[in-house]
Copies of this chain bind each other. A is one copy, B any other.
Amino acid sequence: MNSKKIYKQTRKIEDVIIIGRGTVGGAKESQGPLASTLDRTFQDSYYNEKTWEKCESKMQKEAINLAISESGISQQEIDLCLTGDLLNQCIGSSYCIRDLKIPYYGQYGACSTIAQSLSIGSMLVDGGYSDYTVCGTSSHFCTAERQFRTPLEYGGQRTPTAQWTVTGSGMLVICKSDNFNFQNRVAPKINAVTTGKIIDMGIKDITNMGAAMAPAAADTLITHFNETQTTPADFDMILTGDLGVFGKEIVMKLIKSAGFDLSRNYQDCGEMIYNIKEQDMHAGGSGCGCSALVFCGHIMNKLRSGELKKVLFLGTGALMSTISIHQGESIPSIAHAISVSG
Protein backbone atom coordinates (compact mmCIF):
# COMPACT_ATOMS: atom_id res chain seq x y z
CA MET A 1 0.00 0.00 0.00
CA ASN A 2 2.87 2.29 0.79
CA SER A 3 5.78 2.30 -1.62
CA LYS A 4 8.14 4.53 0.38
CA LYS A 5 8.20 2.23 3.35
CA ILE A 6 10.56 -0.71 3.65
CA TYR A 7 8.96 -2.67 6.43
CA LYS A 8 8.40 -0.74 9.65
CA GLN A 9 11.33 1.56 10.44
CA THR A 10 13.12 2.08 7.12
CA ARG A 11 11.95 4.54 4.45
CA LYS A 12 13.28 4.57 0.92
CA ILE A 13 14.44 7.94 -0.43
CA GLU A 14 14.09 8.22 -4.21
CA ASP A 15 15.82 11.45 -5.08
CA VAL A 16 17.56 13.59 -2.48
CA ILE A 17 21.10 14.88 -2.75
CA ILE A 18 23.36 16.83 -0.39
CA ILE A 19 24.48 19.93 -2.26
CA GLY A 20 26.24 21.96 0.38
CA ARG A 21 27.77 21.70 3.80
CA GLY A 22 29.18 24.07 6.34
CA THR A 23 31.34 23.22 9.36
CA VAL A 24 32.57 25.46 12.16
CA GLY A 25 34.70 24.02 14.97
CA GLY A 26 36.43 25.18 18.14
CA ALA A 27 40.00 25.00 19.39
CA LYS A 28 40.22 21.31 20.34
CA GLU A 29 38.62 20.35 17.05
CA SER A 30 41.13 22.47 15.17
CA GLN A 31 43.91 20.44 16.86
CA GLY A 32 42.37 17.09 15.96
CA PRO A 33 43.09 14.83 13.00
CA LEU A 34 40.11 16.15 11.01
CA ALA A 35 41.01 19.83 11.41
CA SER A 36 41.63 20.28 7.69
CA THR A 37 38.06 19.20 6.90
CA LEU A 38 36.55 22.07 8.89
CA ASP A 39 35.54 25.18 6.94
CA ARG A 40 36.20 27.53 9.82
CA THR A 41 37.62 27.29 13.34
CA PHE A 42 38.09 29.65 16.29
CA GLN A 43 40.49 29.47 19.21
CA ASP A 44 38.71 30.71 22.33
CA SER A 45 35.36 29.55 23.72
CA TYR A 46 33.41 32.74 22.89
CA TYR A 47 34.08 33.52 19.22
CA ASN A 48 33.57 37.24 19.90
CA GLU A 49 30.22 36.67 21.61
CA LYS A 50 29.35 37.57 25.18
CA THR A 51 28.23 34.12 26.27
CA TRP A 52 28.91 30.50 25.31
CA GLU A 53 25.27 30.09 24.32
CA LYS A 54 25.46 33.01 21.92
CA CYS A 55 28.70 31.51 20.59
CA GLU A 56 26.83 28.30 19.85
CA SER A 57 24.13 30.18 17.90
CA LYS A 58 26.86 32.02 16.00
CA MET A 59 28.53 28.74 15.01
CA GLN A 60 25.19 27.49 13.67
CA LYS A 61 24.59 30.66 11.72
CA GLU A 62 28.02 30.56 10.12
CA ALA A 63 27.68 26.88 9.29
CA ILE A 64 24.30 27.52 7.66
CA ASN A 65 25.67 30.41 5.64
CA LEU A 66 28.67 28.34 4.56
CA ALA A 67 26.40 25.46 3.52
CA ILE A 68 24.07 27.75 1.58
CA SER A 69 26.99 29.50 -0.06
CA GLU A 70 28.59 26.24 -1.12
CA SER A 71 25.27 25.08 -2.56
CA GLY A 72 25.26 28.00 -4.95
CA ILE A 73 21.73 29.00 -4.03
CA SER A 74 20.47 32.07 -2.21
CA GLN A 75 19.21 32.11 1.38
CA GLN A 76 15.77 33.08 0.04
CA GLU A 77 15.53 29.74 -1.74
CA ILE A 78 15.76 27.80 1.53
CA ASP A 79 12.16 26.98 2.45
CA LEU A 80 12.71 24.79 5.49
CA CYS A 81 15.16 24.48 8.33
CA LEU A 82 15.34 21.47 10.66
CA THR A 83 17.85 21.99 13.43
CA GLY A 84 18.23 21.38 17.13
CA ASP A 85 20.84 21.13 19.84
CA LEU A 86 21.49 19.96 23.38
CA LEU A 87 20.63 23.14 25.21
CA ASN A 88 17.49 23.47 27.28
CA GLN A 89 14.68 24.48 24.89
CA CYS A 90 17.15 24.19 21.98
CA ILE A 91 18.15 27.84 22.23
CA GLY A 92 21.32 27.31 20.21
CA SER A 93 19.05 26.74 17.23
CA SER A 94 16.18 29.12 17.85
CA TYR A 95 18.35 32.18 18.46
CA CYS A 96 20.27 31.31 15.31
CA ILE A 97 17.22 30.81 13.10
CA ARG A 98 15.54 33.93 14.47
CA ASP A 99 17.90 36.05 12.41
CA LEU A 100 17.59 34.03 9.20
CA LYS A 101 13.81 34.21 8.54
CA ILE A 102 13.61 30.62 7.31
CA PRO A 103 10.52 28.43 7.95
CA TYR A 104 11.57 26.27 10.88
CA TYR A 105 10.70 23.12 12.82
CA GLY A 106 12.89 22.59 15.90
CA GLN A 107 14.22 19.06 16.38
CA TYR A 108 15.25 17.30 19.55
CA GLY A 109 17.25 14.11 19.15
CA ALA A 110 20.14 14.94 21.51
CA CYS A 111 23.38 13.86 19.78
CA SER A 112 21.43 12.09 17.03
CA THR A 113 20.12 15.44 15.79
CA ILE A 114 22.15 15.64 12.56
CA ALA A 115 20.81 12.22 11.55
CA GLN A 116 17.27 13.01 12.69
CA SER A 117 17.11 16.34 10.87
CA LEU A 118 18.68 14.85 7.74
CA SER A 119 16.21 11.94 7.87
CA ILE A 120 13.11 14.10 8.21
CA GLY A 121 14.50 16.60 5.72
CA SER A 122 15.16 13.85 3.18
CA MET A 123 11.59 12.60 3.43
CA LEU A 124 10.14 16.09 3.12
CA VAL A 125 12.31 16.99 0.12
CA ASP A 126 11.74 13.59 -1.51
CA GLY A 127 7.98 13.94 -0.99
CA GLY A 128 7.94 17.37 -2.61
CA TYR A 129 7.23 19.42 0.50
CA SER A 130 10.43 21.44 0.37
CA ASP A 131 12.75 22.48 -2.45
CA TYR A 132 15.79 23.27 -0.32
CA THR A 133 16.05 22.19 3.31
CA VAL A 134 18.81 23.04 5.78
CA CYS A 135 19.53 20.23 8.28
CA GLY A 136 22.02 20.37 11.10
CA THR A 137 22.97 20.91 14.68
CA SER A 138 25.62 22.15 17.09
CA SER A 139 27.14 21.58 20.49
CA HIS A 140 29.60 23.50 22.64
CA PHE A 141 31.77 22.00 25.35
CA CYS A 142 31.16 24.85 27.79
CA THR A 143 27.39 25.16 27.33
CA ALA A 144 26.95 21.40 27.63
CA GLU A 145 29.32 20.93 30.54
CA ARG A 146 27.69 23.54 32.74
CA GLN A 147 24.20 22.46 31.82
CA PHE A 148 24.61 18.70 32.16
CA ARG A 149 27.50 18.25 34.56
CA THR A 150 29.32 20.72 36.81
CA PRO A 151 30.35 24.38 36.60
CA LEU A 152 33.56 24.55 34.57
CA GLU A 153 35.26 26.49 37.35
CA TYR A 154 34.82 23.44 39.57
CA GLY A 155 37.35 21.52 37.48
CA GLY A 156 35.82 18.10 38.16
CA GLN A 157 37.91 15.01 37.45
CA ARG A 158 36.79 13.07 34.40
CA THR A 159 36.29 9.30 34.46
CA PRO A 160 37.98 7.06 31.87
CA THR A 161 34.60 6.51 30.17
CA ALA A 162 33.83 10.24 30.02
CA GLN A 163 33.60 11.85 26.60
CA TRP A 164 34.39 15.40 25.56
CA THR A 165 31.52 17.43 24.10
CA VAL A 166 32.59 18.71 20.70
CA THR A 167 32.44 22.46 20.09
CA GLY A 168 31.17 22.79 16.58
CA SER A 169 28.28 23.04 14.17
CA GLY A 170 27.64 21.11 10.97
CA MET A 171 24.94 22.00 8.48
CA LEU A 172 23.78 20.49 5.19
CA VAL A 173 21.60 21.70 2.32
CA ILE A 174 19.57 19.04 0.53
CA CYS A 175 17.33 19.10 -2.55
CA LYS A 176 16.16 16.94 -5.45
CA SER A 177 18.66 16.41 -8.26
CA ASP A 178 16.54 18.48 -10.67
CA ASN A 179 17.01 21.46 -8.39
CA PHE A 180 20.81 21.40 -8.50
CA ASN A 181 23.15 22.74 -11.10
CA PHE A 182 25.87 20.09 -10.95
CA GLN A 183 28.57 21.80 -13.09
CA ASN A 184 31.08 19.01 -12.45
CA ARG A 185 30.22 18.93 -8.75
CA VAL A 186 29.44 15.69 -6.95
CA ALA A 187 26.41 15.59 -4.66
CA PRO A 188 26.10 12.57 -2.35
CA LYS A 189 22.73 10.85 -2.49
CA ILE A 190 20.48 9.75 0.37
CA ASN A 191 19.19 6.23 -0.28
CA ALA A 192 17.20 5.31 2.80
CA VAL A 193 16.58 6.37 6.39
CA THR A 194 15.85 4.12 9.37
CA THR A 195 13.99 5.73 12.26
CA GLY A 196 15.17 4.54 15.65
CA LYS A 197 13.17 3.36 18.63
CA ILE A 198 14.09 4.39 22.15
CA ILE A 199 16.18 1.70 23.86
CA ASP A 200 17.05 1.83 27.55
CA MET A 201 19.10 -0.98 29.07
CA GLY A 202 19.11 0.59 32.52
CA ILE A 203 22.45 2.45 32.42
CA LYS A 204 22.38 5.36 34.89
CA ASP A 205 26.01 6.52 34.70
CA ILE A 206 26.06 9.84 32.86
CA THR A 207 29.83 9.61 32.59
CA ASN A 208 29.40 6.52 30.44
CA MET A 209 27.07 7.68 27.69
CA GLY A 210 28.63 5.42 25.10
CA ALA A 211 27.45 2.37 27.00
CA ALA A 212 23.96 3.86 27.32
CA MET A 213 23.70 4.59 23.59
CA ALA A 214 25.37 1.45 22.22
CA PRO A 215 22.28 -0.81 22.47
CA ALA A 216 20.21 1.77 20.56
CA ALA A 217 22.86 1.92 17.84
CA ALA A 218 22.95 -1.86 17.61
CA ASP A 219 19.16 -2.07 17.46
CA THR A 220 18.91 0.41 14.59
CA LEU A 221 21.85 -1.17 12.73
CA ILE A 222 20.34 -4.63 12.92
CA THR A 223 16.94 -3.25 11.92
CA HIS A 224 18.48 -1.48 8.92
CA PHE A 225 20.33 -4.61 7.78
CA ASN A 226 17.25 -6.77 8.16
CA GLU A 227 14.73 -4.38 6.61
CA THR A 228 16.94 -3.55 3.61
CA GLN A 229 18.37 -7.04 3.31
CA THR A 230 21.91 -5.74 3.48
CA THR A 231 24.93 -6.69 5.58
CA PRO A 232 27.95 -4.67 6.77
CA ALA A 233 29.78 -5.87 3.64
CA ASP A 234 27.45 -3.77 1.48
CA PHE A 235 28.95 -0.57 2.89
CA ASP A 236 32.40 0.98 2.60
CA MET A 237 31.93 2.40 6.05
CA ILE A 238 29.51 2.04 8.94
CA LEU A 239 29.75 5.06 11.14
CA THR A 240 28.19 5.75 14.54
CA GLY A 241 27.85 9.23 15.98
CA ASP A 242 29.48 9.51 19.37
CA LEU A 243 29.73 6.20 21.18
CA GLY A 244 33.41 6.66 21.90
CA VAL A 245 35.96 3.93 22.58
CA PHE A 246 33.88 1.89 25.03
CA GLY A 247 30.49 2.33 23.34
CA LYS A 248 31.97 1.22 20.04
CA GLU A 249 33.23 -2.01 21.60
CA ILE A 250 29.78 -2.75 22.97
CA VAL A 251 28.19 -2.20 19.55
CA MET A 252 30.65 -4.59 17.94
CA LYS A 253 29.81 -7.27 20.49
CA LEU A 254 26.05 -6.77 20.19
CA ILE A 255 26.18 -6.81 16.40
CA LYS A 256 28.37 -9.89 16.38
CA SER A 257 25.90 -11.77 18.55
CA ALA A 258 23.21 -10.88 15.98
CA GLY A 259 25.30 -12.53 13.27
CA PHE A 260 26.90 -9.51 11.61
CA ASP A 261 30.59 -8.69 11.38
CA LEU A 262 31.61 -5.07 11.92
CA SER A 263 35.32 -5.75 12.29
CA ARG A 264 36.25 -4.57 8.79
CA ASN A 265 34.59 -1.21 8.24
CA TYR A 266 33.09 0.22 11.41
CA GLN A 267 34.15 3.55 12.81
CA ASP A 268 32.80 5.99 15.40
CA CYS A 269 32.93 9.77 15.01
CA GLY A 270 33.82 10.12 18.71
CA GLU A 271 37.03 8.19 18.09
CA MET A 272 37.86 10.01 14.86
CA ILE A 273 37.51 13.67 15.77
CA TYR A 274 40.33 13.90 18.34
CA ASN A 275 43.81 12.48 18.78
CA ILE A 276 42.38 10.79 21.84
CA LYS A 277 45.62 10.08 23.71
CA GLU A 278 47.56 13.20 22.80
CA GLN A 279 44.58 15.44 23.47
CA ASP A 280 43.67 13.54 26.69
CA MET A 281 40.13 12.92 25.51
CA HIS A 282 39.43 9.81 27.58
CA ALA A 283 36.74 7.86 25.67
CA GLY A 284 36.56 10.34 22.77
CA GLY A 285 34.27 13.05 21.47
CA SER A 286 30.53 13.39 21.95
CA GLY A 287 27.73 15.90 21.55
CA CYS A 288 25.60 16.88 18.56
CA GLY A 289 28.60 18.58 16.99
CA CYS A 290 30.70 15.40 17.02
CA SER A 291 28.89 13.44 14.33
CA ALA A 292 27.85 16.66 12.60
CA LEU A 293 31.46 17.79 12.08
CA VAL A 294 32.72 14.35 11.08
CA PHE A 295 29.86 13.63 8.70
CA CYS A 296 29.60 17.10 7.14
CA GLY A 297 33.38 17.49 6.89
CA HIS A 298 35.45 14.32 6.59
CA ILE A 299 32.77 11.93 5.31
CA MET A 300 31.29 14.41 2.84
CA ASN A 301 34.79 14.97 1.43
CA LYS A 302 35.34 11.25 0.92
CA LEU A 303 31.87 10.75 -0.60
CA ARG A 304 32.54 13.59 -3.01
CA SER A 305 36.00 12.31 -3.95
CA GLY A 306 34.73 8.80 -4.53
CA GLU A 307 36.96 7.34 -1.84
CA LEU A 308 33.80 6.25 -0.05
CA LYS A 309 30.96 4.97 -2.21
CA LYS A 310 28.40 3.78 0.32
CA VAL A 311 28.19 4.80 3.95
CA LEU A 312 25.70 3.81 6.64
CA PHE A 313 25.68 6.68 9.12
CA LEU A 314 24.00 6.45 12.52
CA GLY A 315 23.35 9.45 14.71
CA THR A 316 23.23 8.34 18.34
CA GLY A 317 21.50 10.25 21.14
CA ALA A 318 20.98 9.95 24.89
CA LEU A 319 17.65 11.48 25.83
CA MET A 320 17.98 12.04 29.57
CA SER A 321 18.04 15.36 31.40
CA THR A 322 19.66 16.33 34.68
CA ILE A 323 16.21 16.21 36.28
CA SER A 324 15.49 12.68 35.12
CA ILE A 325 18.90 11.49 36.32
CA HIS A 326 18.42 13.19 39.70
CA GLN A 327 15.09 11.40 39.96
CA GLY A 328 16.87 8.05 39.62
CA GLU A 329 15.95 7.36 36.01
CA SER A 330 18.18 5.52 33.55
CA ILE A 331 19.27 6.90 30.18
CA PRO A 332 16.90 6.32 27.24
CA SER A 333 18.80 6.32 23.96
CA ILE A 334 18.05 6.38 20.26
CA ALA A 335 19.85 6.00 16.96
CA HIS A 336 18.74 6.97 13.47
CA ALA A 337 20.44 5.53 10.39
CA ILE A 338 20.96 7.08 6.97
CA SER A 339 22.31 5.23 3.97
CA VAL A 340 24.29 7.63 1.75
CA SER A 341 26.18 7.03 -1.46
CA GLY A 342 28.81 9.15 -3.20
Contact = CB atoms under 8 A, between A and B. Distances in A.
A178 B1 CA distance: 9
Number of copies: 2
Which of A105, A322, A334 has the largest number of chain B CB atoms within 10 A?
A: A105
A136 interface: no
A134 to B, nearest CB: 13
Of the candidates A50, A119, A332, the one having the most CB atoms from chain B within 10 angstroms of its own CB is A332
Contacts of A89: 86, 88, 108, 110, 319-321, 324
A interface, how many residues as a size bin? Answer: 35 or more
A80 B195 CA distance: 8
B88 A11 contact: no
Interface string A97-108: 110011111111
A307 to B, nearest CB: 31
A282 to B, nearest CB: 23
Given A11-B129, A129-B4, A195 B104 contact: yes
A54 to B, nearest CB: 7
A70 interface: no
A88 B197 contact: no
A90 interface: yes
A98 B329 CA distance: 12
Given A89-B108, A105-B107, A106-B109, 14 more contacts: A1-B131, A2-B128, A4-B127, A5-B128, A11-B130, A86-B89, A89-B320, A91-B324, A94-B332, A98-B200, A104-B195, A104-B197, A106-B108, A127-B129
Interface of A: 1-5, 8-9, 11, 50-51, 53-54, 79-80, 84, 86-91, 94-95, 97-98, 101-110, 116, 119-120, 123-124, 126-131, 147, 178-179, 195-198, 200, 319-324, 327, 329, 332, 334, 336
